[in-house]
Amino acid sequence: MKEIILAAGCFWGTQAYFDRTTGIVKTEVGYANGNKDSITYQEVCKGNTNFVEVCKVIFDESKITFEKLLEDFFSIINPTLLNRQGNDIGTQYRTGIYYNGDDKSFFEEKVISKISQLEEKLSKKVYTEFLPLQKYVKAEEYHQKYLDKNPNGYCHIDITKAK
């Protein structure tokens, strides 16, 4: 099993999408790489904590490759937008890929190559961050599996495209 932390704007849709993707073992939403040891959603929304909404994704490499997971991730975001996805605007909605320090060598070449390919294909800068995970705080329980609990909740991600 491997773990990667993905920021695709709204963490509700990110979780719902990957929960429906073959090879994903577990997901959890939270906040990453901010400047406090603990945080609430209300504090993140103020935009001054540097936290980003993320989805922790644990995947089974025998059922989904990291390359396929990257393809899926980039299919649900617009990586050329800075600090926004869909109607969600602010630093907490930036896109990113965050790894645990020991896993850098596994992810680095694949992510850098994919971002380079995208920049060439789109002829635009890709703003998706690729950084080590410095801090992670699990989101409040009401955010976990939010779109399953609230099927009419808003998110820019089309979860019906998950396979």
CATH number of the domain that residue 110 is part of = 3.30.1060.10
Specify the pLDDT at position 101.
86
Instruction: Give the start-end residues of each E strand in the chain.
Output: 2-8, 24-32, 52-59, 84-85, 88-89, 95-99, 129-132, 136-138
Work out the average pLDDT over 144-161: 93
Report pTM. 0.96
| Token pair listed for 109 | 């070449």
With 90 as the cut, is the pLDDT of residue 150 above it?
A: yes
**Residue 45 appears among annotated catalytic residues:** no
Task: Report if residue 12 sits inside a domain.
Answer: yes
The Cα–Cα gap between 116 and 124 comes to 10
The 3-state DSSP composition of the chain as helix, strand, coil percent (nearest 5) reads: 35, 25, 40
pLDDT tens readout for residues 16-73: 999 999 999 999 999 999 999 999 999 999 999 999 999 999 999 999 999 999 999 9
Cα pseudo-dihedral 121, 32, 61, 106, rounded to 10: 70
pLDDT tens readout for residues 96-140: 999 998 899 999 999 999 999 999 999 999 999 999 999 999 999
Task: Report if residue 163 sits inside a domain.
Answer: no
Do strands 95-99 and 129-132 pair parallel, antiparallel, or not at all (unpaired)? parallel
Catalytic residue among 10, 45, 55, 155: 10
Task: Report if residue 153 sits inside a domain.
Answer: yes
The Cα–Cα gap between 37 and 137 comes to 8
Domain hosting residue 28, numbered range: 2-158
Task: Report if residue 80 sits inside a domain.
Answer: yes
DSSP state of 127: -
Task: Report if residue 112 sits inside a domain.
Answer: yes
With 90 as the cut, is the pLDDT of residue 9 above it?
A: yes
The Cα–Cα gap between 28 and 50 comes to 19
Task: Report if residue 58 sits inside a domain.
Answer: yes
> How many separate domains does the chain show?
1
pLDDT tens readout for residues 57-79: 999 999 999 999 999 999 999 99
Burial classification of residue 39, based on how many CB atoms lie within 10 Å of its CB (0-12 exposed, 13-18 middle, 19 or more buried):
middle
Specify the pLDDT at position 94.
97
Task: Report if residue 8 sits inside a domain.
Answer: yes
